[in-house]
Every structure is written in C-alpha cells, then in structure tokens.
C-alpha cells in the first residue's frame, strides 16, 4: 500500500504539470485524470475516474491504438504517438474549427501484480506544429525565390555577357581608324556572342546603290568569298535587308540558299546596317548548329546593326575630313610658299623705291611697303595658327628670359626694357610668338616714341609676365574684345588683328590666363599692360 501522504504528494505533482496525464488499467479503466486534461476537455476527474475511457473517447479503444497499448500492458514497452500521425489522442477543440495538436508518450507503470498500467503523457504541441508549418512555408518560399533568383542570375549573366559584347563593339566602333578595321573587329565580336562559325559584312556602294561589296568575312571558304565579293541587289531576300532595312532570321536549313546548305550551315541571320534611317550595308552570320533566335537576341543584333551603321558612316566622314584637311594643308603650304616669295620680291622693290624716290612718290612707296609687310604678317599669323592646332609636343622646361631677349633683338632694342636673370617656365617652341606679337604690336601702334617694358613676377606655382607700353593705350570698352579673332579696335590702339588672338591661344595652351589692363590703373590713355601667367618650371643647377 502506498502511504496516504505519498499518494497525496504524487497527485498534487501530477495535477500541477502543464501536461495532460492519464493512467489506464489494462482493461481500459481510467485510474487517474489530471487537472490539465480536465481543463482541456471539460471532463472532471470525478466524472471519468473508474470508468471506461472508450465511453468518452472511442478512438482510444480502436484496434490500431489498443494493439500498441497491449505491448505496454503486457511487456512494459513504451509507445510514442507523434502529432504527425496522431494529431490528437484526446480531441481538444481550439475554436475556428481547429483542434489541438498533441504528442503522446505512453510509459509502462508497474501495477504490483506482474502487469503494467499505461501512463499517458499528452503534450500540447499546437504552437510547435504551427511554427513547423510556418517554417516549411518559409522554406518553400525561400526555395521558390532561390529558384527564381538562380534563373534571374542566369538571365543577368547572359545579359551582362551581351552588354559586355555590346560595350566592346561600341569601343571598337569609336576607336577604329578605318571602315575595314571596324567591320572586321565587330564581325568577330558578333560571331563570338552567338557562338557561330562564320559570317560576312557588305557595304552598299555610294555611287551604285544596287551593288554591295563584301569587305569583311570570317570562317567562310575562300571560294565562297570570291563568289559573293560583289553582290547585285536583285533577289527578294537581299532587297529586304539592303533596301527595305528589315532583318531576316533563318531557323530552318531549307530556308537557306543552296550554297549555304552545301556548306553545311543550318541557321543564319541577315542584319541591315542602318545609319539615320539609311541602309549602308548588311551583316550575315551563319552556324552549322541548330539555334533559336529569341526576341532578346534579335533585338541585340538589330541594335548592333544600327551601331555598326552609324560607326561606318562616322568613320567614312572622318576619313573624308582627314583627306580634305590634308589637301587643304597642301594647298596652304603651296600658297604660303608662293605668296611669301612674291612678298619678299615686292618688299625688295618697295624698299628700293623708298630709297630712290622723294616727296609724294616716296610717301606712296612707304605705304606700299607697309601694306606688303602687313600681308607678310597675315601669312605668318595663319601659319602660326595652323602650328598651334597641329603641334602637340609636350611642354618643356624653358628659360623665359632668354626667349624674351632673343625676340627683343628683332626690334629696336633701345626702346625695349627686358628682365635679367633666369626664369624657368613650362612651354614649347611656339612661346616666342607671344612676345613677337605683344612687343611688335606695342612698337607698331604705340607711336614713334613709345617704349616697352617686360616685367616678370613670381606667383608661387605660376609666373606673371607683363608687357607694358606708354602708347595711347586701349579704351575700357575694347578691353574685352581685343583677344577675339579678327577684332581690330581703333587704329590708335596697341594690339590689332590676329596677333592677340594667337597670343591668348598660346597662353591657354600653356595653362595660363591673360588679360588687358592699364599701365597706370584707371588711366587708359597712359598706355596698355598685357598681363598673363605661365606655369613655373624647375630651376637649372646653380640657380
């Protein structure tokens, strides 16, 4: 016999746990029914104790349950009824048509008579089941998203590959020096993009719109290339591409021309090369492998066709411009040479006239000499402008004082004050033109008694140079325009024609700035000061 206190403590303990506890005798009589089960089912312990469990819960005496319970009663073997196969041993409604999910463990409890009672431990696992379901839902959603993501990544990878090819094609299109080089490189990129074996590009003749010439090919037999080197635009398919500007995609070998079939090709694409709605040629690519042209591929190929077409026209125009510039420079060289020869002869004769004539005739001869000198100056300025645009030699460390002194020697040095010492700046061999123009303008337009002074001031990383004269100066209204090409201003102003335009171009070429100021601030009539900056160079050893 179990002492009363011990039985009381046991019952108190089993009634306190949040797990349903049920004890059955081998004849399915309820021996114990704890408070948790009473709360779940609404059946009190007093009502159910000592009665058959089947009266209240018929499923517990079903054959599939009793067969497993026999092993507990007779052999003392435990049994577990999972929530997955046995969702609820004791049905407990939760509302909204849902039932409590349960996990039931049955343990053998010795009865003292050589048999066993069955101790049911019933856990409410509804929240756990719901969490598992939610997890499975999330897992399935993640798997679906991962599948979609993998598919998307594959599409992105393919798009990136296509964009990379397009970028390479664009680079080739913008950097190629000739049309032949352009189409050859682009054709190779397109064949690589599609994984095809060969292709060709033809361009329509500008003087014969019904004829096209094959100018690039890859992976095609030489004998085939010879046959199609010149294409007459007569067949419907050729006209559709080269006249109407429509693409053709052949997915069936029987759609191809007999010569392509004979070469073993199964698919092909013909893409017009279009520039500004004008067809300039066509590109054909072929493969011996079966290939389906999807919408994206078709769009990319047609975009490539437009890119090539625009690049072909651009390259042809560049070649025409280059050819025109070359001819223009040749004509300019011829004209400059011949005009300079004529000017030299004319100046010689004009000088002789000024020395042999007198009076009004001598005055006319001197004016003639001045006019001829101006013509020579114009030729020299034009040649200088051309050199500015053509000469791209790097800037060199140069002694500016030596340059100034060298240029001053070409004028009346008694009227020019130049600095001494050594000042290094970063310029090229055209820098002398700055001082030729500035000193020359001051002496030419400043009057017979004008004096010129060149000053240099250190500005840390830059050097400021001032070419000042005490001539008539430049009015404030004209200071902003004297550097403009062909600006002349008043006849009495220092600085005329192209000289100051060339000067500004050179200063900006060297990374400096230039402006016109009054020699005496606020008094334009007391002379002009042209001030500009140049980048400082490195001093030579010993300085």
d(Cα 177, Cα 137) in Å, to the nearest integer? 61
pLDDT tier at 8, thresholds 50, 70, 90: low
SS (H, E, C) 358-380: CHHHHHHHHHHHHHHHHHHHHHH
pLDDT tier at 1, thresholds 50, 70, 90: very low
Mean pLDDT within 233-250: 86
Mean pLDDT within 357-379: 78
Task: Locate 115 and state its tokens.
Answer: 């048999």
Asked whether residue 264 carries a pLDDT value surpassing 70, the answer given is yes
Bridge partners of residue 287, in order along the sequence: 267
What is this structure's pTM? 0.46
Contact (Cβ atoms closer than 8 angstroms) between residue 72 and residue 116? yes
Cβ neighbours of residue 283 closer than 8 Å, sequence gap 6 or more: 183, 187, 190, 199, 200, 201, 270, 271, 273, 304, 305, 308
Asked whether residue 496 carries a pLDDT value surpassing 60, the answer given is no
pLDDT of residue 176: 63
Task: Locate 379 and state its tokens.
Answer: 């030729």
Radius of gyration of the chain (CA): 51
d(Cα 199, Cα 257) in Å, to the nearest integer? 14
pLDDT tier at 507, thresholds 50, 70, 90: very high
Identify which of 388, 419, 342, 391 has the alpha carbon closest to the alpha carbon of residue 485: 388
Contact (Cβ atoms closer than 8 angstroms) between residue 40 and residue 92? yes
Task: Locate 470 and state its tokens.
Answer: 């005490």
Neighbour-count burial of 298, counting CB atoms closer than 10 A to its CB (0-12 exposed, 13-18 middle, 19+ buried): middle
pLDDT tier at 6, thresholds 50, 70, 90: low
Mean pLDDT is highest, among 205-219, 336-350, 501-515, for: 501-515
Q: Greater confidence, 380 or 361?
A: 361
Lowest mean per-residue pLDDT among 67-81, 259-273, 458-472, 476-490: 476-490
List the beta strands (DSSP E) in 296-423: 396-399, 416-417
Neighbour-count burial of 27, counting CB atoms closer than 10 A to its CB (0-12 exposed, 13-18 middle, 19+ buried): exposed
pLDDT tier at 308, thresholds 50, 70, 90: confident
pLDDT single digits (tens) 415-466? 899 999 999 999 998 999 999 999 988 888 888 889 999 999 999 899 999 9
d(Cα 275, Cα 298) in Å, to the nearest integer? 18
Provide the 10 A C-beta neighbour count for residue 243: 15
Ramachandran area for residue 96 (φ above 0: left; ψ -120 to 50: alpha; else beta): left
CA angle 438, 444, 445 (to 5 degrees): 90
Task: Locate 494 and state its tokens.
Answer: 């220092």
pLDDT of residue 493: 40
pLDDT of residue 542: 62
**Domains of the chain, earliest start first:** 4-124 (3.30.450.20), 176-390 (3.30.450.40), 392-535 (3.30.565.10)
Task: Locate 221 and state its tokens.
Answer: 């037999």
Asked whether residue 492 carries a pLDDT value surpassing 50, the answer given is no
CA angle 319, 324, 330 (to 5 degrees): 130
| Percent of the chain that is helix, strand, coil (3-state, to 5) | 50, 20, 30
Task: Locate 391 and state its tokens.
Answer: 């000469």
Cβ neighbours of residue 346 closer than 8 Å, sequence gap 6 or more: 372
Q: Greater confidence, 397 or 326?
A: 397
pLDDT of residue 486: 56
Mean pLDDT within 377-405: 81
Asked whether residue 27 carries a pLDDT value surpassing 80, the answer given is yes
Mean pLDDT within 174-185: 77
pLDDT of residue 490: 47
pLDDT single digits (tens) 410-421? 888 778 999 999
pLDDT of residue 17: 86
pLDDT of residue 424: 94
């Amino acid at each position: 016999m179990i002492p009363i206190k011990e039985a009381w403590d046991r019952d108190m303990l089993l009634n306190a746990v949040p797990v349903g506890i049920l004890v059955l005798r081998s004849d399915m009589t309820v021996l114990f029914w704890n408070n948790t089960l009473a709360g779940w089912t609404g059946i009190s312990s007093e009502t159910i104790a000592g009665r058959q469990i089947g009266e209240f819960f018929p499923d517990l005496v079903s054959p599939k349950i009793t067969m497993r319970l026999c092993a507990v009663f007779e052999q003392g073997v435990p049994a577990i009824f999972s929530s997955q196969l046995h969702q609820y041993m004791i049905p407990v409604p939760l509302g909204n048509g849902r039932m409590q999910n349960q996990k039931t463990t049955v343990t053998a409890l010795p009865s003292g008579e050589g048999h066993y009672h069955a101790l049911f431990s019933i856990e409410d696992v509804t929240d756990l089941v719901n969490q598992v379901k939610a997890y499975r839902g999330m897992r399935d959603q993640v798997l679906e998203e991962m599948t979609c993501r993998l598919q998307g990544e594959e599409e992105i990878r393919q798009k990136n590959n296509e964009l990379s090819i397009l970028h390479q094609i664009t680079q080739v299109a913008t950097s190629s020096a000739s049309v032949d080089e352009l189409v050859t490189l682009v054709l190779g990129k397109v064949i690589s993009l599609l994984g095809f074996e060969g292709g060709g590009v033809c361009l329509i003749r500008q003087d014969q719109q019904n004829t096209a010439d094959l100018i690039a090919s890859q992976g095609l037999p030489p004998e085939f290339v010879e046959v199609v080197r010149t294409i007459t635009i007569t067949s419907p398919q050729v006209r559709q591409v080269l006249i109407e500007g429509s693409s053709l995609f052949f997915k069936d070998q029987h759609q191809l021309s007999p010569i392509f079939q004979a070469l073993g090709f199964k698919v092909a694409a013909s893409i017009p090369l279009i520039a500004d709605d004008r067809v300039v040629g066509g590109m054909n690519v072929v493969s011996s492998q079966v290939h389906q042209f999807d919408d994206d591929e078709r769009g990319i190929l047609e975009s490539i066709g437009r890119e090539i077409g625009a690049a072909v026209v651009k390259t042809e125009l560049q070649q025409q411009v280059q050819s025109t510039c070359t001819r223009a420079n040749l004509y300019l060289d011829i004209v400059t040479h011949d005009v300079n020869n004529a000017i030299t002869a004319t100046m010689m004769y004009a000088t002789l006239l000024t020395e042999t004539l007198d009076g009004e005739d001598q005055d006319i001869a001197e004016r003639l000499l001045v006019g001829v000198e101006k013509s020579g100056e114009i030729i020299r300025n034009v040649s200088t402008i051309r050199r500015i645009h053509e000469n791209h030699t790097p800037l060199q460390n140069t002694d500016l004082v030596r340059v100034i002194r060298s240029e001053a020697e070409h004028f009346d040095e008694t009227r020019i004050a130049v600095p001494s010492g050594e000042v290094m700046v970063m310029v090229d061999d055209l820098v002398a033109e700055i001082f030729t123009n500035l000193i020359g303008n001051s002496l030419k337009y400043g009057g017979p008694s004008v004096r010129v002074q060149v000053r240099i001031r250190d500005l840390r990383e830059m050097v400021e140079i001032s070419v000042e004269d005490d001539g008539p100066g430049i009015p404030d209204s004209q200071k902003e325009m004297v550097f403009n090409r062909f600006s002349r201003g008043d006849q009495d102003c220092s600085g005329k024609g192209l000289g100051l335009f060339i000067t500004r171009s050179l200063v900006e070429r060297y990374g400096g700035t230039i402006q016109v100021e009054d020699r005496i601030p606020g008094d334009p009539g007391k002379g002009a000061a042209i001030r500009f900056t140049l980048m400082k160079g490195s001093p030579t050893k010993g300085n």
